[in-house]
Chain A
Amino acid sequence: MKIIMSGIIGYGVYTPIYRIKISEIASVWKKEPAEIIAGLQVTEKAVPGFDEDAITMGIEAGKTALSMAGVSEKEIGAVYVGSESHPYAVNPTSTSVAEYLGIGNDYFSADLEFACKAATAGLQITLGLLDSNKIHYGLVIGSDTAQGKPHDVLEYTASSSACAYILGNKKNEIIVEVLDTSSFSSDTPDFWRRDGERYPSHFGRFTGEPAYFNHVLSEGKKLLEKSGLLPTDFAYCVFHMPNGKFPRIAAKKLGFTSGQLAPSLIVNTIGNPYSASSLLGLSAVLDIAKPEEKIFFVSYGSGAGSDGFIFKTTNRLKEKQKLSASLKGQTKKKIYLSYPEYLKHMHII
């Protein structure tokens, strides 16, 4: 097993206040709400404010991550924002977020795109910079205001949120160690969006077995093999959640129990916030994890690839948990939208 020096020293999440119920969307298209809900295992999804985007949400998540980490903004040496909804096609989200967070000018930066795994790729890049001592701290954010075409199945799940991680290489600051990371990548056209198009396209059932499952399971098996660990060695597992069904199947196929998976399933009430999905799932687990617990993590990005991580919590996590702007806390107050209001928020009307 490779030894990685660096790890997580803080995290922050942000979810918009607005929600729309799956049943509300279903009723517009005269579908049976119960059927859709059972099929996707999602009951409602997060909807951005009319004036929110990947930058504004990234700033919110970044701010709470910085405050949990207790690190000065000026010490951040790398900023990577992964998204499928960068506000510009050309003009970096990462530097806007960095500027508004007060990070100064001395940092590596680029915007990342790899469908829903852009940000986890950012984690790997930052770990590399940290382990080679090029930087001391790095900020990685997954942030999306995902668009779903009206009447398409993705409309029920495409949602919005942001999740930020501060990584560092000082052992006494690390709250979650990274024991290993690897990736499984290929050229698989399951889901894509052409330049200038508002909505992504996908190839239906092809997004399942040959895409999501092929990559998640291949990476998952690789990670287990290399580490020599068994599913039972882990307290929790986290997978990318395009809906509520896929991660449950992936977990089972790799030998994990529903109990190990359950705390990460933010998809039920948030939907799929694309680049923030797996990271949000991880944050939900970190909010409740105890010290010295191992967490199995595999993300997925269409096109396609999976980033796998084996995390282990340290006893420094406990005091940081108190500083978490947890998803649970943020979702105490919700404002439900009607379908026309949802369309307004998504700039569709």
Chain B
Amino acid sequence: MNMMTPVKIHRHQKETTSLIGKKGKIVVWTIIRIATKLFSSQAPYPVVIVKLENSEQIIGQLVDWQEEDLKAGRLVIAVLRRSHTEDKESVITYTIKFKPL
């Protein structure tokens, strides 16, 4: 059951748009190896909590990463990426993820 319906996605869009391109530092990180159904085809993937320049903390996947990027203090930038594998009929969900700079 996908919690992100088209209506919810539309409602969240302004917030998502405003985060694209924001920079921050990794506070804590983990690698998800056993994922939920929606994300299982992507596992293993890192999830990080990032402290943005405005002190806001955001949780998101780390993408385009290598081992050495997984450390507290690593500089990252927020990008828009596909969220997870949907079935062939659903609306595609995009979400904020982080990329090492």
Contact = CB atoms under 8 A, between A and B. Distances in A.
**A and B pair up:** yes
Interface of A: 16-18, 49-53, 55-56, 59-60, 63, 87-88, 96, 99-102, 335, 347
Contacts of B94: 55-56, 96, 100
A49 B80 contact: no
A99 B82 contact: no
Q: Return the 4 tightest CB-CB contacts between A and B, nearest first.
A: A51-B81, A51-B82, A17-B64, A100-B17
Given A50-B42, A51-B83, A53-B82, A59 B64 contact: no
B21 A56 contact: no
A312 B74 CA distance: 42
A16 B64 CA distance: 8
Contact of B79 (A56, A87, A88, A347): A56
Task: For chain B, give the interface size range.
Answer: 20 to 34
B58 interface: no
B81 A49 contact: yes
A100 B64 contact: no
6 contacts: A17-B64, A50-B82, A51-B82, A59-B20, A63-B20, A96-B94
Contact of A51 (B17, B21, B42): B42
Given A99-B13, A100-B16, A52 B66 contact: no
Given A63-B20, A100-B20, A56 B64 contact: no
Find the residue from B16, B41, B80 having the highest chain A CB count within 10 A.
B80
A100 B12 CA distance: 11
A48 to B, nearest CB: 10
Interface of B: 13, 16-17, 20-21, 41-42, 61, 63-64, 66, 79-83, 85, 92, 94, 97
Given A49-B81, A60-B79, A88-B92, A99 B17 contact: yes
B84 to A, nearest CB: 8
B100 to A, nearest CB: 9
A56 B16 CA distance: 13
Contacts of A99: 13, 17
Nearest to A101: B17
Given A51-B83, A60-B79, A102-B17, 20 more contacts: A18-B64, A50-B82, A51-B82, A52-B81, A52-B82, A53-B92, A56-B79, A56-B81, A56-B82, A56-B94, A59-B20, A59-B80, A63-B20, A87-B92, A88-B92, A100-B20, A100-B80, A335-B64, A335-B66, A347-B85
Find the residue from A17, A49, A51, A335 having the highest chain B CB count within 10 A.
A51
A73 to B, nearest CB: 10
Contacts of A17: 64
A87 to B, nearest CB: 6
B87 to A, nearest CB: 13
A105 B83 CA distance: 25
A290 B66 CA distance: 38
Nearest to A60: B79
Find the residue from A100, A101, A347 having the highest chain B CB count within 10 A.
A100
A257 to B, nearest CB: 38
A60 B42 CA distance: 22
A102 B80 CA distance: 13
A328 to B, nearest CB: 17
